[in-house]
């Protein structure tokens, strides 16, 4: 894997031209970080499936995020325009708003997070990355 960290995200529609553009981009990124051809084909197929799933759920647009950090590659497909809101642990004070897939820095502690009207309790620990899967 490449030793250079990077992060970028795209907001794409669910049309076939965007799918092809994204597949080409994914092939380039995966090749850059050192994946073999067979792995690139498999991962590109999984990416297309994730995009198709979003479109099937009625989400015509989505965000695709590529992040390479500390020798690991993460690819996230999320519904664009969908927001999450972070509240204090009892839901009394609104602390942050973000699009799904975005990163938010929070102090250690308990938080109430709403995603598409679904409420989740999240515990953030010092020095650790916490991921919310709605």
* 116 phi, psi to nearest 5 deg: 50, 45
* 52 phi, psi to nearest 5 deg: -65, -35
User: What is the per-residue pLDDT for 60?
Assistant: 65
> pLDDT, tens digit, for every residue of 25-40?
888 888 888 888 888 8
Q: Cα(94)–Cα(97) distance, rounded to whole angstroms?
A: 8
Q: What confidence tier does 111 reach under pLDDT thresholds 50, 70, 90? A: very high
SS3 (DSSP) at 40 = helix
CA distances from 91 to 26, 54, 86, 96, 133 (A): 39, 29, 8, 12, 19
Residue extents of the structural domains in the chain = 6-79, 83-124
Q: What percent of the chain has pLDDT above 70?
A: 81
Long-range contacts of 18-22 (CB under 8 A, 24+ apart): 19/48, 19/51, 22/47, 22/48, 22/51, 22/64
Q: What confidence tier does 79 reach under pLDDT thresholds 50, 70, 90? A: low
Q: Cα(113)–Cα(119) distance, rounded to whole angstroms?
A: 6
Decide the pairing of beta strands 72-79 and 61-69. antiparallel
pTM to 2 decimal places: 0.52
Average pLDDT, the chain: 79
pLDDT at 106 over 70: yes
């Amino acid at each position: 894997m490449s030793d250079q960290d990077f992060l970028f995200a795209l907001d794409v529609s669910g049309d076939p031209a965007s799918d092809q553009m994204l597949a080409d981009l994914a092939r380039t990124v995966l090749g850059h970080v050192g994946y073999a051809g067979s792995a690139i084909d498999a991962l590109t197929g999984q990416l297309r499936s994730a995009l198709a799933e979003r479109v099937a759920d009625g989400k015509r647009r989505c965000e695709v995020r590529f992040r390479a950090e500390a020798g690991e590659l993460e690819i996230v497909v999320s519904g664009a325009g969908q927001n999450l809101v972070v509240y204090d642990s009892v839901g009394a004070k609104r602390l942050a708003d973000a699009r799904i897939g975005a990163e938010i820095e929070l102090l250690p502690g308990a938080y109430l997070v709403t995603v598409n009207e679904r409420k989740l309790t999240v515990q953030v620990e010092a020095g650790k990355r916490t991921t919310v899967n709605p």
